[in-house]
Structure 1
Amino acid sequence: MKIAVFGASGATGRLLVKQLLDDGHQVRILVRSADSLPDFLKNQENLSVKEAAISELSDADLEQFVSTCDALASCLGHNLTWKGIYGKPRRLVTDATRRLCQAVKANGSGKPIKFVLMNTTGNRNRDLEEAISFGQKCVIGLLRLLLPPHVDNEQAADYLRTQIGQNNKAIEWAAVRPDGLVDHENVSPYEIHPSPTRSAIFNAGQTSRINVGHFMADLITDENTWAIWKGKMPVIYNRTTAESTIE
């Protein structure tokens, strides 16, 4: 498969790219600087690197970049700095999601292209009646006011749910929701759920970044997995922390 990955220099994105390359796929990535890539992604035969920010590309350039791709994956996120959280672009993930979907439509490949978005358990799937406590509702409300990246994550997933929907002929999508992200060296057992099984605010679990990359790669490349989760917002936990119930 030919897959374009955005946010490939990030802590999770680089692991997704490595997983796809290890599985023998052709991957193209867009990064501000190739120097930011880890050594294990340099000089890879099946990896094509373009140096630019997605906001710097014209619509025509973006259409060209994703042309002939079978799938797109976004691990874009905001840097955890004052500028990254409160500076521009405040709608990095949402704008990228919208523009990528428009690029896919403009290309008109004649077959549905997969789009996998990395999201967060702090964002509810509004297609389902996901119960959260009053306290969590209050905290989420504060996050919307104080942390622009949270709103960005919500709006990006909402774009897929409401603007792309379930029956789009050009794009099929899934939004992966990890809980508290941690760094592990190897893929470990993990569990996938339609909705959170614990509170993202008051009883957060853990999800290793390498497991997120593994699951996103599986979604893209395995048709059985895709058939289960397309058009949905699966939640991923490391198995050892997935037993508590939501509070």
Structure 2
Amino acid sequence: MRIAVFGANGPTGRLLTGQALAAGHHVTAITRQPDSFPLHHERLDVIGADVHIPMAVDAAVAEQDAVLSALGVPATKGPITTYSRGMANIVAAMQRHEVRRLAVVSSSGVDPRPYSEGGFLLNRIVLPYLTRVMAKTLYDDMRRMEALVRASDLDWTILRPSGLYQLPSVTDYTLIEGHADARFTSRTDLAASMLALLDDDRYVRTTLSVVTTVDNPTFLQYVRREVLARS
């Protein structure tokens, strides 16, 4: 299968590209910084393109069998439009070239709810600050992206991971339709779940939560490894 991966140079996108190549697919990795892309393979094409530019997106989508979007931008209090503008261009290109299958990474933060095991600090302080202040514009744009996807006539699936962290290999992850009361998703599991959707039509036009149930970090470990390490 020929697969286009948008956001291929991000942490999840690189894992997704590697897993897709290992599964025998031909992958087109789309990134704004192709020279820094670390993977090389005879079935890999790396394209330098900006999702904000319709013609660049159109060229990347042409002749593909499926599109996987792992687009990601840093949280900021300023305006963010990458998710919605990029997805509008992706959807238009897919419709133009009659590419049907689309899987999109969103976030559980677009529908924030308290976690039963989250405790006071996470549920009453961290989550409200993250979703309503620090990353408000990011989640607002993700909501616009989801609305665009749902309004399309494509065979789409939206995946909403929770707190993303690193694991060395894929686990026996769980997919749950709609909201999941789970705090963490490994990037390896998120990538694997996206790839598995290409051979599974049960979740077409469905929003899924991806849950990793083993080797989860504690909340403080997560903050130290994933939040402070990037600041």
Q: Does 1:212 align with 2:190?
A: yes
Distance 2:139 2:5 in 1: 21
- 1:8-27 to structure 2, matched below 5 A, reads 8-27=8-27
Q: Does 1:197 align with 2:208?
A: no
C-alpha spacing 1:132/1:60, structure 2 compared with 1 (3 Å): closer
**Superimposed CA distance per residue, residues 186-219 of structure 1 (whole angstroms, 9 cap, x where no aligned partner):** 1111111112231xxxxx5211101100010011
Q: Does 1:157 align with 2:133?
A: no
- SS of 2:144's equivalent in the other structure is helix
Contact 2:77 2:134 in 1 (8 A): no
Distance 1:232 1:24 in 2: 26
Instruction: State the Cα distance separating 1:54 from its structure 2 match.
Output: 2.0
TM-score (norm 1): 0.75
For residue 7 of structure 1, what is the aligned residue in structure 2?
7
Distance 1:189 1:196 in 2: 19
Contact 2:51 2:82 in 1 (8 A): no
Q: Does 1:30 align with 2:30?
A: yes
Q: Greater shift after overlay, 142-151 or 184-193?
A: 142-151
- SS of 1:14's equivalent in the other structure is helix
For residue 53 of structure 1, what is the aligned residue in structure 2?
50
Contact 1:72 1:116 in 2 (8 A): yes
Match of 1:188 among 141, 162, 171: 171
For residue 232 of structure 1, what is the aligned residue in structure 2?
206
What residue ranges of structure 1 are gaps of 5+ in the alignment? Answer: 125-130, 199-203, 243-247
- 1:130-141 to structure 2, matched below 5 A, reads 132=113
Contact 2:174 2:210 in 1 (8 A): yes
Distance 1:177 1:213 in 2: 12
- 1:118-133 to structure 2, matched below 5 A, reads 118-124=105-111, 132=113
Moved over 3 A (4+): 135-142
- SS of 2:42's equivalent in the other structure is coil
TM-score (norm 2): 0.80
For residue 201 of structure 1, what is the aligned residue in structure 2?
none
Distance 1:28 1:78 in 2: 20
Distance 2:124 2:177 in 1: 20
Contact 2:109 2:131 in 1 (8 A): no
Contact 1:192 1:235 in 2 (8 A): yes
| C-alpha RMSD of the superposition | 2.5
Contact 2:171 2:214 in 1 (8 A): no
Amino acid at match of 2:24: G
Residue identity (%): 26
Instruction: State the Cα distance separating 1:25 from its structure 2 match.
Output: 0.5
C-alpha spacing 1:229/1:140, structure 2 compared with 1 (3 Å): farther
Q: Does 1:101 align with 2:88?
A: no
For residue 162 of structure 2, what is the aligned residue in structure 1?
179
Amino acid at match of 1:238: T
